[in-house]
Structure 1
Amino acid sequence: MPVTRTRFCPAPSGWLHVGGARAALYNWLAARHDNGAFVFRIEDTDAERVTDESMQGMVEAMRFLGLDWDEGPEVEGPHGPYRQSERTALYAAVVAALLKAGGAYDAYETPAELAAEREAAQREGRPPGYGGGHRNLTDEQREAFLAEGREPVVRIRTPDEGSVGFTDLIRGPVEFAWADIADFVVQRADGSVTYYLANAVDDLAMGINVVSRGEDLLSATPRQLLLYNLLLADDLLDRALADNAYPGRPADAVPPVFAHQPLLVGEDRKPLSKRHGSVAIDEFRRQGFLPEVLVNFLALCGWSYDATTERFTVDELIDRFTLDRVGRHPALFDTAKLRAMNGDRIKELGDAELAERLQPYLHDAGLVDEPALPEQQRLLLGLAPLLRERIQTLAEAEPLVAFCFRDDVVFDEAAVAKHLKGRAGDVLQAAERVLADVGEWNAEAILGALDGVAADLELGRGKTFQPVRVAVAGSAVSPPLPETLALLDRELVLARIRAAQSLVG
């Protein structure tokens, strides 16, 4: 039995979105469950769409999620290179061998001719695929087209009749009629190869034996199965690898089996897209979602262990995950559930760990140094228990506690208008006086002093606390007031209360 080898092979033309991340996760879990290998391969043959920034972003997103790879960028391995742009010589050799073996042929139609063929098929009610017009050109015809300056594409000759079937690990038996699958392009007129060719060559060359991907690629499978047969016949691929100094296939290599993951949908049950909000992993990171929660949540977008269990550590997922427990039906990407899971996980973090996790977000906001200074560390550690029950994402902490790290108060105009009026001046004057006289500067003493102001002025706690909160924090919202004031320097608190008295209208 060969060692399980899975792969994730994105095209770096954008950011890693949640659909791609789930595909990566399922492949990673399948490999880790079986003590196999997880390969990270970059499919960058489309030079017009690929960017180095996108590739680096995908690498960083994978590392953020904790999805380490055994072979691929920055790691390399025995079956590289792992960027398709570095494997073009191999693809060219394979295409040449396919042409020589008769499994492929040159087709010289112009884009205008192909468009006219599609329009005619549509008018006549026929399938819109390529009709095979250049399947059997004579040498004279080919020479004539070349003399016109035409550059051919290379197409694979598909069977005229019969069907192709396979057993999908998720969907069960699947079958396609060859009559519905037109001859398809594997090399463009500019010499670059298409997804079908590069993907099939690399999966076989790297010994990938489990391909788990989105159901949108289900229709590509018959083409890849045909390519597998062509590439393995008469050792065509093995010879191309050897002749071009690429590593040979693993000794125990077998063609892949497939597992097509269900569609991810939004609350409107339509395919997940930007109209549903954030779909990029990097955006979820910026919003302060914990990587272990994202992994747990994405695992549940299609897979279940039983009817009730929803909270898993990464180790538990590795132990329990199998592709045959992935469902066929569309999986709901429930953002509200993700937020709730994230908030629950934040509540479980200890003070020191929560403070450590908050630090990068406050650093990005310009509030904390990197590394945090001792006084900043003290504040973070003290604020952590005050925030734990009040935030569902790490980024939500910043507006609540920014005033603790700033030299100057940034006032919210609406809060000033609402709370620094009427008897707020009396409250601030009294608060400044009693807080200056507090013996020990702690939450209990501060609470007692402010309650004394409320009693003396015959005001409720809200009418007392809110003017002080706005004076010190600049906002009507903050962590619990006495506990937060106790973390700040007394003279800073008094100075802010004194300064805010001039704002009372």
Structure 2
Amino acid sequence: MVRVRFAPSPTGFLHLGGLRTALYNFLFAQKHGGRFILRLEDTDQSRVVPGAADGIEDMLEWAGIPPDESPRQGGPVGPYRQSQRLDLYQEATEELLGKGAAYRCFCTPQRLELLKKAALRERQTPRYDNRCRHLSPQQVAEKVAQGADSVVRFRLEDGSEPFCDLVYGWTKHEVASVEGDPVILKSDGFPTYHLANVVDDHHMRISHVLRGWEWLVSTSKHLLLYRAFAWDPPRFAHLPLLLNADGSKLSKRQGHVFVEQFAQDGYLPAALLDAITNCGSGFAENRMGRTLEELVAEFDVGKIEKHSALLDLEQLSEFNRIHLARQIGDERSRPALVAEVQESVERVYGEQLTDRGVLEKAYVEQVLLLRKGHISRLQDLVSPTHAFLWIRPTVPHEELQAISPEADDIGRLVLELLDQSVATLTVEQLNGDLRQLPARVRVTQYSVMMKLLRMALSGLQQGPGVAEMMVSLGRGEAQARIRRALSS
């Protein structure tokens, strides 16, 4: 059975790169009828941020890709926090020590720092010199009896085997020739990533590991650990980097890389998932507007390309516009949008709402349908540009006269037009009728007339089309606003 995992460290908010890794794991599991596991790698307790673990799972649920097994959901191979699995790592370490595949290292931090400085002076890559791997069992026992602090290191051996990465193909790194023996268990009893991820992936029966490209060079080391344990390793697929459109690295210092911020800013989960897959690979073709169901159906790990994916966040508004229009047009999802707009209008305008009828479901639904395809986020509907939908503007008659001396004549003709229009106003019909009016007011140009009517209806010089405003407001309200502006 396919079992994949997303294993972030709870050191802060979930960022876009992490979301894409989680998504690809979710898509792979869904594609193959498997299970998607969330495991929190919190063995470095100094970096753990309170609340980050819950935040990561909250954002996966918000995005519509909840794990099947997790710290919150539970599952058959828990616990799902590494800090709660220390006995398992200790047991694994003792097994490696017993086999001679690992050894205790008593080198002090000061000695290790001197080794590092010496290597840098020689312009070499710092590496441990494996000094303690040559200690005899008696020497080790004496140091343990003396209470000397120690870590456990894995004995790297020559002969790394090549492996076939599902993205990068056949790969091999002779780690023993370029690295010192790595620490697998620290002096505080916590494992390092190298041991913990191998032990957990084995005991959690992970079949495929889809993780970031930065771990590709460590995989040969991990395969040596699998061989030392006599365990069968999973298949590996390393995902290329997700970069900014200019090729620079996505930085956690940039607020716009955190998923939580996008959620707070009103972006839809479907739009964000669509954007981070559209810029990358894993699909036969890239196209805007894919739903999660379509992403699952079209995903193919064999089509993930080796080059980095360039994410243009300036296009996110267009992705959101497409997905928002789809949700507005869907009778199943529209009620939730109506409720969200009602709440936003109440919050933003509050006591300014002289007519509470604007909060009624039918009115808000009509607004959504008329603005479908024109707005990128629901928040746009409570922006100053759309304030006319919820509160009546105060427009002095002098301002209308300043736009056109024929303001009164224009207002009278538009009121007559609205009286004579068919029972149901449509944008198309009104646009056609409004274009005929300038001929009846010979001095006024069509653009001037539109500017005047927009001011009377909304108090704004720019904004949605006049016909759209009238249909959104309804015949009675549009007439009331025009009369009010002419008589003020």
Q: TM-score, normalised by structure 2?
A: 0.81
Distance 1:294 1:23 in 2: 13
State how far apart, in whole Å, the 1-side matches of 2:256 and 2:73 are.
Answer: 30
Q: Does 1:360 align with 2:320?
A: no
The aligned residue for residue 245 of structure 2 is 267
What is the alpha-carbon distance in structure 2 between the residues aligned to residue 172 and residue 270 of structure 1? 26
Counterpart-to-counterpart distance in 2, 1:31 and 1:271: 28
Mapped pair 1:389 → 2:376: no
> After superposition, where does 1:427-466 map in structure 2 within 5 Å?
439=419, 443=425, 456=441, 458-466=443-451
1:289, CA displacement in angstroms?
A: 3.4
- The partner residue of 2:306 within 319, 328, 332 is 328
Aligned match of 1:243: none
Equivalenced residue count is 471
Rounded to whole Å, the distance in 2 between the matches of 1:501 and 1:92 is 84
Task: State which of 397, 402, 408 in structure 2 corresponds to 1:423.
Answer: 402
Indicate the SS of the match to 1:278. helix
1:135 correspondence with 2:115:
no
Match of 2:85 among 84, 87, 96: 87
Q: 1:307 to 1:487 in 2, by over 3 A?
A: closer
Q: Which residue of 1 aligns with 2:293?
A: 315
Structure 1 residue 8, shift from structure 2 partner: 1.0
Conservation of the 8 A alpha-carbon contact between 2:209 and 2:236: yes
Q: Quick one: distance in 1 between partners of 2:40 and 2:482?
A: 55
Which digits, 9 at most, give the CA deviation of each residue in 1:242-269, with x for residues without a partner?
xxxxxxxxxxxx4211001112222222
**Aligned-pair Cα RMSD in Å:** 3.9
Superimposed CA distance per residue, residues 26-85 of structure 1 (whole angstroms, 9 cap, x where no aligned partner): 111211111122212222222232235322222222122221322223322211121222
Residue-by-residue CA offset, 1:313-348 (whole Å, 9 max, x unaligned): 433332332211111111221334544344334444
Provide TM-score, normalisation by structure 1: 0.79
Change (3 A) 1:405 1:294: same
2:188 to 187, 190, 195: 190
Residue aligning to 1:118? 116
Q: Deviations over 1:140-180 (max 9, x none)?
A: 75577668875322221111x33332110111110111211
8 Å contact kept, 1:383–1:484: no
Q: Is the 8 A contact 2:7 2:39 kept in 1?
A: yes
Q: How far apart in 1 are the matches of 2:50 and 2:486?
A: 50
Matched letter for residue 300 of structure 2 = T
Pairwise mapping of residues 28-107 of structure 1 onto structure 2 (< 5 A)? 28-107=26-105
Runs of 5+ consecutive residues of structure 2 not aligned to the other structure: 351-355
Query: 1:247 is matched with which residue?
Result: none
8 Å CA contact 2:400, 2:455 repeated in 1: no
**Aligned partners of 1:361 and 1:394 also within 8 Å:** yes
> How far apart are the structure 1 equivalents of 2:249 and 2:323?
28
Residue 245 of structure 1 corresponds to none
Say which is worse superposed, 63-72 or 392-401, in terms of deviation. 392-401
Aligned residue number for residue 174 of structure 1: 171
Q: What residue identity is the alignment partner of 2:370? A: L
Does the alignment pair 1:478 with 2:463? yes
Counterpart-to-counterpart distance in 2, 1:47 and 1:275: 21
CA 1:378–1:323: 2 relative to 1, 3 Å: same
CA contact (8 A) 2:411 2:486 kept: no
Matches within 5 A, 1:254-293: 254-273=232-251, 278-293=256-271
Superposition deviation, residue 123 in structure 1: 2.0
CA distance 1:72–1:275, change in 2 (3 Å): closer
> Hey, what's the Cα distance between the residues in 1 that align with 2:413 and 2:272?
47
The answer (yes or no) to whether the contact 1:9–1:41 under 8 Å persists in 2 is: yes
> Structure 1 stretch 111-120 or stretch 47-56: which is displaced more?
47-56
What residue number does 1:469 align with?
Answer: 454
Cα offset, 1:24, TM superposition = 1.3
CA distance in 2, matches of 1:501, 1:104: 90
